[in-house]
Chains A and B, each alone.
Chain A
């Protein structure tokens, strides 16, 4: 099943750095992740949609499309809003 890596403040909030989470789309995996780690909900989702500025990458490609289909070996990474120089 897809593997999800969490970064920055999301690690402390959830207590984990990564986990295998089932789902066939990015949105489904996100929903399941939040179900297993409810503390993440308010940081990741707003009314069922991904919060603005949360960064989600699938195999290293940033995307804002939660309907994107996922393969079994896909790697998802989630970052809270970040900036820098």
Chain B
């Protein structure tokens, strides 16, 4: 078989048994792999009656046909589950090496069901599966555990949870290869609820490529394109994503102090420029990646990967903190404890505002750099206020009577880009299937960076077309699975062709984007089935009614309503945001909403 391995591994933690069976190739052709295949399988397995932290929820780890082929960035992989933070469909995506190694074990998908009676960890060596007792390991932090279980980047890879996942923090991440994270939406808590501490993989099978000549040609062309694009060949390797700090601040779209402002006076102090001059050691890359956007930073207390722009923002501008060392340390702590940095930082910021306004009795205030480490630790261990913070900002703010102070969409904390400075981004957050997230179709390329071309960030009419294209295209890329930064040098038409060269299945560019559209619509159906409606396609009131009083975004609020109406129509959905039968038929999804079809039950 070419590209795909063609096999699914299913592990039942309750009975400590496993089985493997063929991957449905018709399904694989329709959904490719990664996020697409993940949601398709999740649709069958986890319905509205399932609590995300119950044994009936599943974790579905997926590769794609390109994984481990050696194509640029063919290291990424995905996990699909129902989110304990939002209750929506969730997929989280990570880089590093684990995905590549898992592909080499001979499987495309790993499904984990049930719940172990006591903590265990799993070892997968090709088709040899071993369950190990993890009682001694329970409580161990990620860095120590990763080393203890024998992490060796190219040969043996550790995926695990830290104390945050064990303690069922709704912001808990699944970590792999020490400091790579599947973080948003709390998948670490799902893993913790199953008493599963780690999954270690070792594999020796390389994927087969149908047309080696064509593959080599496209690999060469991709190398040329990535080298020619200044973003992938200079900006990202030299400065990393944190370079965005000064630019987002300059254009007045850097959310500050829990989105109270759109510019941060301390932006320069926590910028990529400052990092380069102070704590940056070097850059690093994931497997088969020529870009190398990872930062390696060192302070007096920590050394390791990061910080990414979003992490530096969440603990920085969002909390009113301009102490870069403290931010780096908080980021490192999140990696070691297994926590999502964006949600952690933004939840702390929410608590800061609640405290300052007297709604929450605590001494937390904006700007307190020395509070970061304490908060992060308390969140991982459910101590004191941390026990409430670890539930996420929406539950926190609701408890203290002010849900409007939680900067979330569908319960997930939004990242750095303030929608009042970028209209398209607001529409993106409101319609994103996993909640307030920018990695589902980031609009900053078009609205700020001029990639491929600058469009008016304050214009509303027609904006939905761009958002929809981005969302569809991103969903396709997440299903291949490759890194979205490759897309900055390489157009979708290359991905379609490389997929064809590897698998032998002909996809044209339109088919590839349509696959993304299919994935998007299925995710939407999933959420509809869970009870989400068009009312949930919304943003916090602050972004809809409180305009910034100075800066380039002065006077602007998010014009969500007209954009949303146009968005529904353009997607072929009805006015309630429900995909129409016509649209579903066009995407081949009409059978999935047959009411007589029942969900697969756990045997």
Contact = CB atoms under 8 A, between A and B. Distances in A.
Nearest to B240: A84
Contact of B273 (A7, A62, A81): A7
A85 interface: yes
A19 to B, nearest CB: 16
B250 A60 contact: yes
Given A8-B239, A60-B250, A85 B234 contact: no
B552 A59 contact: yes
A61 B457 CA distance: 9
A57 B251 contact: yes
A62 B241 contact: no
A58 to B, nearest CB: 9
Contacts of B241: 83-85
B239 A9 contact: yes
Nearest to B484: A85
A81 B454 contact: no
Residue with the highest number of chain B CB atoms closer than 10 Å, among A7, A53, A82: A82
Contact of B234 (A5, A9, A62): A9
Contacts of B234: 9, 80-81
B454 A62 contact: yes
Interface stretch (B105-113, B145-153, B444-452): B444-452
Given A53-B450, A83-B449, A84-B309, A8 B243 contact: yes
Contacts of A5: 250
Contact of A84 (B244, B251, B454, B457): B244
Contact of A83 (B236, B252, B552): B236
Nearest to A51: B230
A82 B451 CA distance: 10
Nearest to A85: B241
A28 interface: no
Interface residues on B, range: 35 or more
Nearest to B232: A83
Contact of B230 (A57, A59, A64, A80): A80
Contacts of A53: 230-231, 449-451
B438 A81 contact: no
Contacts of A77: 247, 250
A55 interface: yes
A79 to B, nearest CB: 5
B217 interface: no
A15 to B, nearest CB: 14
A41 to B, nearest CB: 16
B302 interface: no
A6 to B, nearest CB: 10
A11 interface: yes
A9 B251 contact: no
A79 B243 CA distance: 10
A7 B246 contact: yes
A36 interface: no
A68 to B, nearest CB: 13
A81 B231 CA distance: 6
B163 interface: no
B309 A82 contact: no
B442 interface: yes
Contact of A62 (B309, B439, B457, B485): B457
Interface in B226-242: 229-232, 234-236, 238-242
A9 B243 CA distance: 10
A62 B443 CA distance: 14
Contact of A61 (B251, B444, B484): B251
Interface string B357-401: 000000000000000000000000000000000000000000000
B266 interface: no
Contacts of B340: none
A62 B450 contact: yes
B308 A85 contact: yes
Given A7-B246, A53-B449, A62-B251, A83 B485 contact: yes
Interface in B147-161: none
A55 B449 contact: yes
Contacts of B230: 53, 80-81
B208 to A, nearest CB: 32
Interface string A5-41: 1011101000000000000000000000000000000
B273 to A, nearest CB: 6
Nearest to B310: A85
B451 A83 contact: yes
B522 to A, nearest CB: 24
B87 interface: no
B139 interface: no
B251 A60 contact: yes
Q: Pick the most buried of B240, B242, B250, B488: most chain A CB atoms within 10 A of its CB.
A: B250
Interface in B176-214: none
B251 A82 contact: no
A23 B536 CA distance: 49
B551 interface: yes
A83 B450 contact: no
A83 B454 contact: no
A85 B308 CA distance: 8
B243 A85 contact: no
A82 B444 CA distance: 11
A11 B448 CA distance: 21
B442 A85 contact: yes
Nearest to A5: B250
Given A7-B247, A9-B238, A77-B247, 13 more contacts: A8-B243, A53-B231, A53-B449, A53-B451, A60-B551, A62-B447, A64-B454, A82-B239, A84-B240, A84-B243, A85-B308, A85-B309, A85-B484
27 contacts: A7-B250, A8-B235, A8-B243, A8-B273, A52-B450, A53-B449, A53-B450, A57-B247, A57-B251, A57-B552, A60-B251, A60-B252, A60-B553, A62-B454, A64-B454, A77-B247, A77-B250, A80-B234, A82-B244, A82-B247, A84-B240, A84-B243, A85-B309, A85-B310, A85-B439, A85-B442, A85-B484
- A-B interface, 8 closest residue pairs, ranked by CB to CB distance from nearest: A60-B552, A84-B241, A81-B230, A84-B244, A83-B231, A77-B250, A82-B243, A60-B251
